[in-house]
Chains A and B, each alone.
Chain A
Amino acid sequence: MTHEKKSAGLRGFSPYRFWGVLPSIEISYLPDLLMGAAGMALFYGLLVVGRTWLGPFTPEVEIRRSPLALPAYAGYSLLRITIAYVLSLAFTFVYGYIAAYNARAERFMIPLLDVLQSIPVLSFLPGVMLAMVALFPGRQLGVEAGAILLIFTGQVWNMAFSFYASLKSIPTEMREAAKVYGFSWWQRFLQMELPFSAIGLVWNSMMSVAGGWFFLMACEMFVLGSRDFRLPGLGSYLQTAASAGDTPSILWGVATMIAVIVLLDQFVWRPVIAWAEKFKVEQVESTETSRSWVLDLIRHSRALAQIRKKTVAPLGERLMLHFAHTHSGEERQKASPWKVWLLRLLLVAVLAAIGYGVVRVAMILSGIQKAELQEAGIGLGATFLRVNVALLIGALWTIPAGVAIGFQPRLARIAQPLAQIAASVPATALFPVVLLLLIRVGGGLGVGSIVLLLLGTQWYILFNVIAGAIAIPTDLKECCSVFRLEGLQRWRKLILPGIFPYLVTGLVTASGGAWNASIIAEYFHFKGQIYTTVGLGATISQATDQGNFNLLLAATMMMAATVVTINRLVWRRLYRLAETRFRLET
């Protein structure tokens, strides 16, 4: 399973520890002032966005390269991410809930989730874009919606799985307590299910949003044949700047990107993580707790406390009582017959739609020329090699480096936050920049794309290796010293088995990411030219570009099937091995 992985590597890495030692704020009007200002700024932002989105569709948005335009662009990108995230969260609740409580649905919903997670999202891009533009003709909203939907598909699956897994792991006695005391579904959700899944959701949200940036950067500037869909945003800014070879603008863009990520970390994730501390299911209080100065600020704000007391608290109370009333009134009646029929009808409709889709796909696939298929097959081999070479190179340098860092706490303290920042900068944002360098050096995309893949994936491995090295117990290390296990012996007997579970976690994530990234790494519009190499990713991109939807479909399915197969055959087994044999019992 490739799911708990997401949190393992990040847990406890705090880049800005020094914020924690800032004196807590005693003056109480400062927080209020800040909060008020934030509210006004938010309102203005909404106005601007509304004006742009509802404005007419501009086929080619002019992307300005002035650094002054950057804050606005960053704002637009951020907004897309936010909307996509909210959608993902809503989907997560619905999907996770049904999968966890309906045994019949669970049987196909969970494998489906696994498959959906493996599908290369970027190949959805053309279909989604065209559909959305058609849905909102003449409005900028269509392109926006396309981008948002794409980010959504990129980030939703692991969140849904996390929520489902949390729901399934609620202790039986806790569930029974909720039942015997007659909780309404609302109370159960609010007081049991949501808190219980909070921590998993928070960590997976972090990972998802990081993944969201990756896709956003790619789809803000997107060419489909002769049509050019552009959205004002950080990604399009970086691509435009790189296309023009404008180094200062590139630097400004990357700096803004990093700034946004750091700010997000400070103003969203740190506070949320510190707040989620209270949802830890533990019997004893832990000594190490996350802290966030922003959260302290919010907690110290008197105005906010007042607002909460006047609005949220009474509203919550009324909701709770409302659902309690309706709950105690209901006699657990059977669903009325027409509801059952409606449900069955819906099911039949969905099945029919699926059947129709399968038939159409089969027809399309049968119409594909052999030559194309052959080319895609060769491409598959090439991309397979490329992905694995990238993984290998990544592993080769990150394992020694990660272990060295992990074994020296002082080094770890400096290196970990740096690695975290490096990892959270979306590789797609850097693609144009790296491509620019590659072209100057004179390497082809055949090798160059490996560098691009490596760029996005090595951090996952590094992260996890560091975490694994830290987790190796001191007594085992001492034991090795006592028995004079050194050099190769030490690696074979202690280090490699010790970091194995973490390494597998890192590699699974990296492998999935690399397959997905190959779609943009192997085929690139740049400075009015197309740079490409042999590969399945290139086939997908090219088919997109030429509007060859039959080939696009075939190639996408090929990639999805490959990823699913590799997951089943290799990663899942290694995962099981890691969980059983190489688990360090505490």
Chain B
Amino acid sequence: MVSSTQNDAIIEAVEIEKSYPQPDGTRIQVVSQTNLSIEPGKIIALLGPSGCGKSTLLRILSGLSKPTAGMLAWHGKPLDGQTPNVAIVFQSFALFPWLTVLENVEAPLEARAVGAVERRKRALRTLDTVGLDGFETAYPKELSGGMKQRVGFARALVVEPEVLFMDEPFSALDVLTAENLRGELLELWLNKKMPTKAIFIVTHNIEEAVMLADRVIVLGRNPARIRSDLNLRLQHPRDRKSPRFLELVDYIYKVMTEPDAEHAPPDAETTAEIVLPAGGLTKDTRRKQPTVVRTTKYQMLPHARVGGIAGLIEFLHDRGGHEDLFRLAEELVMDVEDLLPIIEACVLLGFAWLKEGDVQISPQGSAFAEADIQQRKVLFRQAALEHVTILKQIDSILKRKSDHSINDEFFHDILDEHFAEDEVQRQFETAMNWGRHAEIFDYDRESGRLVQAEPPAPQDTAAESQNSATTPKA
């Protein structure tokens, strides 16, 4: 089941898991039992939707946080306590704003007790490598985002790490800067100008992963687990427009959006060798996993706002109701990370469905796209009450309660049982956004009360007004 069990792996994670305790004593699992190894000479990209636990996995592999179960081996020996020789490039750069560029790069060397003269020499050399000579005495706030991330690179490279970890290193940068930096990173790596043996990069950008990586691991969520693992066979430099590149991007898109379906794999000889197929572990092995830890079964709402859902449906409708996912992302100039939740929301509400990496609008979706503002509210309400568990629950409780109102704590408690703390907040926010829009309830944030709302009346039909008479407004 293990992706590759070479003995020369630098880092090897054996059956690691991560879960967090909940206030009620149970635990929420964020990373399910995973085997993973980082071999020298490779750029490994970890892909996955937002909030799926990619970053948690990176932190475990880099020794920053401890797995709840399982073992982390460093050159075959278990790693307990001490920090391995790794470095991390952070999404937010995480530079110290009160230190100059040079001091920032020197700081890790200071921590390793390198003397002043040697320290300066090494720091200057590294700054030179990443193209920052002349900026030694500048403070980070004087630099552009791209330059800041170069400092981040320099700080990471100066310690000559065996594995360079990168956590979404380009996602805080604009498109052009990111492209430029990516190219330079690849050039340093391919020309062996980097004193590092392997790179492990976490990203949500499929093209970025296909552009850089020798191996792509796709992660599924709730809890995080490896869904697919492929070794790329594309030659550098890679051409974004080449058919093989596109085929691979398209394949990964499908794996990410429809993990359980079978997809035609890319050509193993020329494009990619699939180590672990889409869907990840087979059903048998999944059943074999111990079920001590509860995993999420409650319906999870994708974090999409109603405005985004409506916009996407309209766009789809205008395109004839059918579009390739990859093309859609390109045309909307959106990251998958941002697009996926909206598409998931459309699918959940029954406005669209996914097939083979394409989005297809449903009859309900078409009706929604053609409706006017008032009518849309009615349609949205119908869809929400039909498909969204928590809104169904809220609606039925509000109907049954004599004062037609309830404290939001109640739903926080329900969600608490199924999700981790910050996810509860996001789930709640999304539910409030949808529910208010569907006019299922009004929500007063200050008092924290949900009050039943009058349902939207579609162009004064007698039936509707009768309906609303039975649900008096509190």
Contact = CB atoms under 8 A, between A and B. Distances in A.
Given A195-B98, A280-B97, A332-B82, A173 B91 contact: yes
Given A181-B87, A285-B142, A580-B446, A174 B94 contact: yes
A22 interface: no
B96 A174 contact: yes
- Of A285, A317, A321, the most chain B CB neighbours within 10 A belong to A321
A325 to B, nearest CB: 5
Contacts of A328: 112-113
B81 A176 contact: no
Contacts of B155: 177, 181
B88 to A, nearest CB: 5
Interface string B189-230: 000000000000000000000000000000000000000000
Interface of B: 59, 62-64, 81-83, 86-88, 90-92, 94, 96-99, 107-108, 110-113, 115-116, 139, 141-142, 155, 159, 167, 445-446
Interface stretch (A60-68, A182-190, A558-566): A182-190
16 contacts: A173-B91, A180-B86, A180-B87, A191-B96, A191-B99, A192-B96, A278-B98, A281-B97, A282-B97, A320-B110, A321-B113, A324-B112, A324-B113, A331-B81, A331-B82, A580-B445
Nearest to B159: A181
Interface string A276-302: 001111111100000000000000000
Interface in A145-184: 171, 173-174, 176-177, 179-184
A332 B141 contact: no
Given A171-B94, A321-B110, 11 more contacts: A171-B92, A174-B94, A181-B159, A182-B83, A187-B107, A187-B110, A191-B99, A191-B107, A279-B97, A281-B97, A285-B142
Contacts of A577: 446
Contacts, number: 84
Nearest to B107: A191
Interface in A379-429: none
Contacts of A173: 90-92, 94, 167
Nearest to A576: B446
A327 interface: yes
A484 interface: no
A177 B63 CA distance: 12
A406 to B, nearest CB: 27
Contacts of B90: 173, 176-177
A124 to B, nearest CB: 38
Given A171-B92, A171-B94, A278-B139, A181 B113 contact: no
Contacts of A171: 92, 94
A11 interface: no
A339 interface: no
A562 B147 CA distance: 55
Contact of B141 (A182, A187, A284): A284
A227 interface: no
A179 B107 CA distance: 12
A303 B316 CA distance: 72
B333 to A, nearest CB: 24
A502 B167 CA distance: 40
A177 B88 contact: yes
B110 A179 contact: no
Nearest to B84: A180
A295 to B, nearest CB: 16
A159 B26 CA distance: 38
A310 interface: no
A440 interface: no
A581 interface: yes
A562 B90 CA distance: 48
- Of B62, B107, B159, the most chain A CB neighbours within 10 A belong to B107
A156 B328 CA distance: 59
Contacts of A327: 111
B92 A180 contact: no
A173 B91 CA distance: 8
Interface in A181-239: 181-184, 187, 191-192, 195
A414 to B, nearest CB: 33
A279 B94 CA distance: 14
A285 to B, nearest CB: 5
